[in-house]
Every structure is written in C-alpha cells, then in structure tokens.
Amino acid sequence: MTVPVTSTTYRCPLCSRTSQPDVLQLGGYTLYLCTSCSLRFAPEAFEVAVDYDAVYQSAEYQTDQVRALHSMDGKELANQGTYRAFFEQVPRAPGARLLDVGCGVGRFCVGAYSRGWDVTGIDVSPLAISIAKEFAPFPLRVATVEELISQGEHFDVVTAFEVLEHLRSPLQFLSNIQKIVRPGGQTFFTVPNWDCAGVQSTTRPDWLPPIHLMYFTELALRRAGELSGLERVSTGVIWSDTQPRGGLAKARWAARRVLQRPRDPLGLWLHGWVSR
C-alpha cells in the first residue's frame, strides 16, 4: 500500500520512490507517476470499495467474457491473444497442476483444459464462479491465495490474467503467489499496457479507477517481477485487435483488418520462475 509523503506526493507501490501527479486523469482520479520504474497508480482510489459481482454483470464484461464462452470452444479460447502468450511461453509438462487466480468466468481455464492442463480456478466473486461452473469439467471455487497458503496447497504453474492492476499491493500478491508454487515452478501474469493509446484514453468503467488502480509499462511490470523475488523474469507485449461494439468503430476495425494495419499493443505479460 502507498504511504503519503505530502498532500501531492506518494510512495510508489513497487519501488517506494516518491511519485508525483501525472498530467493525465482517469475516471476523475489523479494518476501518480513514478519516474524510477514508470508505474502509474491512483492512490486516491485505493480505499474505494468495488463490488466485483457488479463488474461481472456489466455490459462490457458480458460482451468480452461471458459471450465468448457461449460462442467459442476451448481451442479457440486458448488462441486468444492474451492466453496465446501463455501457451507460447509455458510448455505443458505431464501431470503439471495449473492454478488460475482471479479466473473470472473461466475463459482461460477452459482454454488451458482443452490443451491438456490439469486446471483449477479461483476467484473472489461467487457470481463469476457460478457462471464458470456451467462450462467447467474441472475444479473451481471461491477462494483467495491467502486461503490456499493456509491450506498448504501447491501448484506447478500459477497464472493471473488482468489481476495485478486491481491491487493496492501488487508486490505482496506476487510474493504470496510464490508460496503456493512448487520449487522449480512457474508463474505467468498479464496486465493492460499503459503504452497503448487505447488504455490511456479509455472510457470503459471496468478499465478505470477505482476498478483499475495500477497502470503498468513493460519496465514497471518487469520491476514488479524482479522486486517480488521471481527469477529468470521475462516480459513481452500482447498484440490485440478485438472487434468493437459500435457501428462506426466496427467498420473501422473491419477496414483495418482488410488493409492489414498494425494491431494495438493492448497488454503485457510477465513470466517468472520460483526456486524456493
């Protein structure tokens, strides 16, 4: 959690350096910029309660997540840009157990299961888990990482897609994740990419504070992995070209695909190993 230095400066949640207000605001909240690790964060939103069941019922989430479960099979889901990055970086070992933290309605879990992974998913939202169970021939439950630690559970690979940006203390989360990874195991995380124009200009409620608290560059994400104690840390960009909902935006999207113009660098991935 950040600690105020003055009324207009805060300590960076990653590297603890003093941060200053950025020129941009999102959702009516001032973003603070750490010039050392390049993380942007919204400390004034840290204590605002978020109803994640309401988030999972939003039109944006229903379009992006729930409908995909109805319209795509597991192999198609696994080939989505955000998830494809995982399968490119983390080869499956026979018998390896995979835990997806913050699994939501289970899109990645379904994709990983189709690729032969022994999958378990957890989320803090009972609504999300109830939706996910309609599509899941694998274990899903409402739980936190801290509960799994107390129960002594361990996995060979732990993933968390689009979770770090919601947290006040991402380093504590990354440290806790490592407590449930077997020695020699791997972790994989994704976040939105601040260096994408679509992220900086977004008006989607579920991408704004107080739902999103952190905005990572690739440098900031790599620093998070290193400072948390992960080893052999690597990062990369997730390129995306998702179909928008609006008529004009959809027409521009179709034209861009016909012209084979560059996709958006919408996300970032972090891959790290656990030795202890």
pLDDT in tens, 114-166: 999 999 999 999 999 999 999 999 999 999 999 999 999 999 999 999 999 99
pLDDT at 60: 80
pLDDT at 81: 87
Residues of the chain with pLDDT under 70: 1-7, 241-262
pTM of the model: 0.90
Homologous superfamily (CATH) for 51-161: Vaccinia Virus protein VP39 (3.40.50.150)
Show me where the domains of the chain are located.
Answer: 51-161
Of residues 19, 48, 16, 69, the one with CA closest to residue 205? 48
Other beta carbons within 10 Å of 227: 17
CA distance 152 to 184: 17
List Cα–Cα distances, 236 to 17, 156, 190, in angstroms: 25, 22, 10
* Rounded (to 5) percent helix, strand, coil in the chain: 35, 30, 35
